Copies of this chain bind each other. A is one copy, B any other.
Amino acid sequence: MSPGSRTGTTPALLTDLYQLTMLTAYDELGMRAEASFEFFVRHMPERRGFLLAAGLQQVVEFLEDLRFSEEELRWLEGTGRFKPEALRRLRDFRFTGAVDALPEGTVFFADEPLLRVTAPIAEAQLVESRVINLLHFQTMIASKAARCRLAAGDRHLADFGMRRAHGAEAALLAARACWIAGFDSTATVEAGRRFGMPISGTMAHSFIEAHDSESQAFADFARVHPRGLTLLIDTYDTVAGARKAVELQRQGAVVTGVRIDSGDLAALAREVRAVLDAGGCRSTRIVASGNLDEFWIADLLAAGAPIDSFGVGTRLDVSADAPYLDCAYKLQEYAGRARRKRSTGKATWPGRKQMVRRFRADGRIDGDLVALADAVPKGEGMLVPVMRGGRALAAAPALEESRARARRSIASLPEACRRIRDPEPLAARIDEDVRALADELDGTVGQRPR
């Protein structure tokens, strides 16, 4: 695990209060048996034909590092909510369990377990809030970023989302998720440092405005970037900006790109391309930005807009059209017995489960099966062992590896899943054994007479 990739240790108190309450209850009650919890998405968001797993590495780091600091314990003591023996227990708390999961960069669908945690119930329960917090966000962003990749074909895609991401960690993890999903670069410098991603950037309107004229601003920027520069040309008049870029290149500057951030991007890109080409700037690339998403990118390219590179920000980093996933981390087995929640609209499939994926001869996914883990022959399941005894089984995979897996996994999707508009996700087949187990539990647990 590369130390630089950690985004910092999570405070143990970054959890919901009821996790601590339940942990101490389990201890007091002597409930120490092993539990299995699974994280899954209940329903696909309307505009998603698939989801892309991301965030596992941060979950592993969190579970390995989880400790209550003396400062945290003192604060908990001060709340008067915890008995001395509970605080002693928290002081010694370590995650000692097992994790099985879909590797990052794997496509998946509703009802399929993305991650399974097996540990003494107090441990498996305590980690719920942060596990969801990490997996939900990166998976949501990777899933939208993957659609941007599909829409953009082989054009350059840059993450511009930091400013409207939800805080520092969101900005960094969004950049990471985009990278896994196939983006080419990020504007967020710290993400470049932590995750080894390429960074990219141009200039802001304020640089132009701080000069008395746009031409002067361009000339000044060229002076400090003699080896090549991207000019932002839409501050006043985009086509006039393109002409100034041509003029600047004539005077010896290396204008590698021009960026258009507003207006009718398709029409402007065509006009700008014509100006650049006529002016001998055939290799100058056109970068487009400004509230882009996969729909807009697809429309621009369908309209033949000669755009070489897209900067995608806000709508990606908040997953604007599907701003949360209906996901859960649920108890599936305790003390060797399957468990099931039956709340209206939120019932779960019980038992420790595995997902088996069948492929067709052409490499495309034929279908997914969710079966009881014990019934799946070793090596056939898509969830692989990740942690045992509280430790990662292997060094963190390089992000390049997750990125390559995402490319292959997305390529294996049926066409209907990959469509930008009206995609149709696959529905996993729930194995008969799982259904039978659910029926069996419905007939007993919870109905048992008092």
Contact = CB atoms under 8 A, between A and B. Distances in A.
7 contacts: A18-B187, A22-B204, A79-B192, A121-B206, A125-B204, A213-B446, A262-B346
A134 interface: yes
B21 A201 contact: yes
Contact of A323 (B28, B263, B320): B320
A171 to B, nearest CB: 6
Interface stretch (A6-14, A274-282, A387-395): A6-14
B224 A28 contact: yes
A31 interface: yes
A189 interface: yes
Interface of A: 8, 10-11, 13-22, 24-26, 28-29, 31, 35, 37, 72, 75-76, 79, 121, 125, 128-130, 132-134, 136-137, 160, 162-174, 187-190, 192-193, 199-207, 209-210, 212-215, 220-221, 223-225, 234-237, 244, 247, 261-264, 314-315, 318-320, 323-324, 330-331, 334-335, 339-346, 445-448, 450
A263 B28 CA distance: 32
Nearest to A341: B205
Nearest to A206: B331
A213 B448 CA distance: 7
Kindly report how many copies of this chain are found in the complex they form together: 2
Contacts of A72: 193
A56 to B, nearest CB: 15
Contacts of A13: 189-190, 193
A235 B125 contact: no
A114 to B, nearest CB: 14
A324 B320 contact: yes
Contacts of A168: 10-11, 14, 130, 133, 167, 169
A137 B92 CA distance: 36
A446 to B, nearest CB: 3
Contacts of A343: 205, 234-236, 261-263
A244 B448 CA distance: 13
A167 B134 CA distance: 6
A9 B187 CA distance: 20
A209 B339 contact: yes
A167 B188 CA distance: 16
Contact of A136 (B121, B164, B192, B450): B164
